[in-house]
Amino acid sequence: MTDHYATLVIPRDAETHTIVRAWREAASLYHPDRPTGDAEKFRAAREAFNVLMDRDARVRHDATLNGAAAPGLISEDDFNVMKDDESLGALKPAGPCLMCGGSAEVRVAAAGFWTRRKCPACVP
Protein backbone atom coordinates (compact mmCIF):
# COMPACT_ATOMS: atom_id res chain seq x y z
CA MET A 1 0.00 0.00 0.00
CA THR A 2 1.32 3.40 -0.96
CA ASP A 3 1.53 5.97 1.83
CA HIS A 4 0.11 9.09 0.19
CA TYR A 5 1.32 11.26 3.06
CA ALA A 6 4.90 10.19 2.38
CA THR A 7 4.40 10.81 -1.34
CA LEU A 8 3.49 14.46 -0.68
CA VAL A 9 5.87 14.70 2.33
CA ILE A 10 3.19 15.92 4.74
CA PRO A 11 2.08 14.80 8.24
CA ARG A 12 -0.90 12.49 8.64
CA ASP A 13 -2.95 15.20 10.33
CA ALA A 14 -2.38 17.67 7.47
CA GLU A 15 -5.17 20.10 6.76
CA THR A 16 -6.56 20.93 3.33
CA HIS A 17 -4.32 23.93 2.70
CA THR A 18 -1.22 21.87 3.52
CA ILE A 19 -2.28 19.14 1.09
CA VAL A 20 -2.95 21.67 -1.67
CA ARG A 21 0.41 23.39 -1.10
CA ALA A 22 2.28 20.07 -1.18
CA TRP A 23 0.44 19.05 -4.37
CA ARG A 24 1.32 22.32 -6.09
CA GLU A 25 4.98 21.97 -5.14
CA ALA A 26 5.11 18.37 -6.37
CA ALA A 27 3.24 19.25 -9.58
CA SER A 28 5.57 22.13 -10.38
CA LEU A 29 8.63 19.99 -9.70
CA TYR A 30 7.59 16.72 -11.38
CA HIS A 31 5.31 17.85 -14.24
CA PRO A 32 6.44 16.04 -17.40
CA ASP A 33 6.70 19.33 -19.35
CA ARG A 34 9.32 20.66 -16.92
CA PRO A 35 13.08 20.01 -17.28
CA THR A 36 13.05 18.27 -13.88
CA GLY A 37 9.89 16.35 -14.81
CA ASP A 38 9.21 12.77 -13.84
CA ALA A 39 5.90 11.39 -15.13
CA GLU A 40 5.77 8.54 -12.59
CA LYS A 41 6.31 10.82 -9.58
CA PHE A 42 3.78 13.28 -11.02
CA ARG A 43 1.15 10.52 -11.32
CA ALA A 44 1.87 9.35 -7.77
CA ALA A 45 1.54 12.91 -6.41
CA ARG A 46 -1.72 13.44 -8.33
CA GLU A 47 -3.15 10.18 -6.97
CA ALA A 48 -2.08 11.13 -3.43
CA PHE A 49 -3.73 14.53 -3.79
CA ASN A 50 -6.99 13.03 -5.10
CA VAL A 51 -7.18 10.48 -2.27
CA LEU A 52 -6.33 12.91 0.52
CA MET A 53 -8.78 15.57 -0.69
CA ASP A 54 -11.69 13.09 -0.83
CA ARG A 55 -12.89 12.66 2.76
CA ASP A 56 -14.17 9.09 2.36
CA ALA A 57 -11.12 7.94 0.41
CA ARG A 58 -8.84 9.52 3.03
CA VAL A 59 -10.63 7.69 5.85
CA ARG A 60 -10.22 4.38 4.00
CA HIS A 61 -6.56 5.18 3.26
CA ASP A 62 -5.84 6.05 6.91
CA ALA A 63 -7.54 2.87 8.05
CA THR A 64 -5.47 0.70 5.73
CA LEU A 65 -2.28 2.41 6.92
CA ASN A 66 -3.27 1.63 10.50
CA GLY A 67 -4.24 -1.95 9.61
CA ALA A 68 -7.84 -1.57 10.78
CA ALA A 69 -11.27 -1.37 9.24
CA ALA A 70 -12.29 2.14 8.28
CA PRO A 71 -14.42 3.82 10.97
CA GLY A 72 -17.86 4.85 9.89
CA LEU A 73 -18.09 2.20 7.19
CA ILE A 74 -20.52 -0.64 7.81
CA SER A 75 -19.18 -4.10 7.15
CA GLU A 76 -21.18 -7.27 6.70
CA ASP A 77 -20.28 -8.34 10.25
CA ASP A 78 -21.81 -5.14 11.65
CA PHE A 79 -25.23 -6.28 10.48
CA ASN A 80 -24.87 -9.43 12.57
CA VAL A 81 -24.48 -7.41 15.79
CA MET A 82 -27.31 -4.97 15.10
CA LYS A 83 -30.36 -5.31 17.29
CA ASP A 84 -33.91 -4.19 16.74
CA ASP A 85 -34.53 -1.10 18.87
CA GLU A 86 -38.34 -1.03 19.26
CA SER A 87 -38.34 2.44 20.86
CA LEU A 88 -36.98 3.89 17.61
CA GLY A 89 -38.72 1.44 15.35
CA ALA A 90 -35.50 0.88 13.42
CA LEU A 91 -32.24 -1.02 13.51
CA LYS A 92 -29.61 0.47 15.78
CA PRO A 93 -25.97 -0.69 16.15
CA ALA A 94 -25.23 -2.64 19.31
CA GLY A 95 -21.93 -0.77 19.86
CA PRO A 96 -20.88 2.89 19.49
CA CYS A 97 -22.35 5.05 16.74
CA LEU A 98 -20.93 4.23 13.30
CA MET A 99 -20.95 7.87 12.18
CA CYS A 100 -19.16 9.53 15.09
CA GLY A 101 -17.65 6.61 17.00
CA GLY A 102 -19.48 7.65 20.16
CA SER A 103 -18.25 11.27 20.35
CA ALA A 104 -21.70 12.70 19.43
CA GLU A 105 -20.01 15.09 16.96
CA VAL A 106 -19.20 14.87 13.26
CA ARG A 107 -17.03 17.10 11.07
CA VAL A 108 -18.85 18.71 8.15
CA ALA A 109 -17.28 20.59 5.25
CA ALA A 110 -19.05 23.86 4.51
CA ALA A 111 -17.78 26.64 2.23
CA GLY A 112 -14.21 25.37 2.39
CA PHE A 113 -14.13 25.08 6.19
CA TRP A 114 -14.58 22.16 8.57
CA THR A 115 -17.18 22.64 11.29
CA ARG A 116 -18.32 20.37 14.09
CA ARG A 117 -21.99 19.46 14.31
CA LYS A 118 -24.06 17.15 16.47
CA CYS A 119 -24.12 13.63 15.11
CA PRO A 120 -27.48 13.16 13.34
CA ALA A 121 -27.44 9.41 14.03
CA CYS A 122 -27.12 9.46 17.83
CA VAL A 123 -28.11 12.95 19.10
CA PRO A 124 -31.79 13.87 18.81
Tell me the domains of the chain and their CATH numbers: 4-66 (1.10.287.110), 76-118 (no CATH)
Q: How far apart are CA 74 and CA 97, in angstroms?
A: 11
- For the question of whether the overall pTM of this predicted structure is more than 0.85, the answer is no
Q: How many CB atoms lie within 10 A of CB 102?
A: 11
Q: What are the pLDDT tens digits along the chain (124 aa)?
A: 788 999 999 998 889 999 999 999 999 999 988 887 889 999 999 999 999 999 999 998 888 887 754 445 544 444 444 444 444 444 444 556 766 777 777 777 666 667 777 777 776 5
User: How many whole angstroms separate alpha carbon 113 and alpha carbon 91?
Assistant: 33
The backbone region for 111, taken as left when phi is positive above 0, alpha when psi lies in -120 to 50, beta otherwise, is left
